């Protein structure tokens, strides 16, 4: 049995692409929601152990609170924002731009840290997933923008 792209109807190909497009448009928001939730839970539950695993020593109650706020509070805030944008079609594009901004800044700071601190051995392993997330964010923004333009065109 031979199959080719001509044997599938155009309607089936459009539907398949639509499904992939829906997944690609939301993937960065899902990823950021999960990643930042996991980071924040780790630092909320046991900030001393989580910091020690990264080579950071927390020696005072004030330092522990600062770590909870910085390493748990901020990531949890971004996770909540990403999740609310994920479940709202109206906020999807804004959420994708937020993800792009956060990941671009984090990646730039990581590269700066590697250059200034000579920490390539510890930090470089995270550049690949951050680059993938950055690329997915750009693709998702383009797909969502195209979908919105087509929606406006169809309504006009």
Least confident of 11-20, 40-49, 64-73, 132-141: 11-20
Model pLDDT, residue 10: 46
Q: Ramachandran region of residue 118, left (φ > 0), alpha (ψ -120 to 50) or beta? A: left
pLDDT tens by residue, 78-117: 999 999 999 999 999 999 999 999 999 999 999 999 999 9
Average pLDDT, the chain: 90
Model pLDDT, residue 121: 83
Model pLDDT, residue 127: 94
């Amino acid at each position: 049995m031979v199959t080719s792209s001509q044997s599938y109807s155009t309607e089936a190909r459009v539907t398949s692409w639509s499904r992939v497009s829906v997944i690609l448009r939301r993937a960065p928001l899902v990823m950021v929601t999960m990643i930042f939730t996991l980071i924040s839970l780790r630092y909320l539950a046991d900030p001393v152990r989580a910091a020690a695993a990264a080579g950071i020593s927390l020696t005072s109650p004030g330092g522990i609170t600062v770590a909870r706020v910085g390493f748990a509070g901020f990531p949890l805030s971004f996770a909540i924002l990403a999740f609310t944008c994920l479940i709202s079609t109206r906020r999807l594009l804004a959420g994708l731009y937020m993800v792009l901004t956060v990941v671009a800044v984090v990646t730039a700071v990581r590269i700066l840290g590697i250059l200034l601190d000579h920490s390539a051995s510890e930090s470089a392993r995270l550049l690949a997933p951050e680059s993938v997330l950055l690329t997915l964010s750009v693709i998702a923004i383009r797909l969502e923008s195209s979908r919105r333009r087509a929606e406006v065109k169809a309504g006009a």
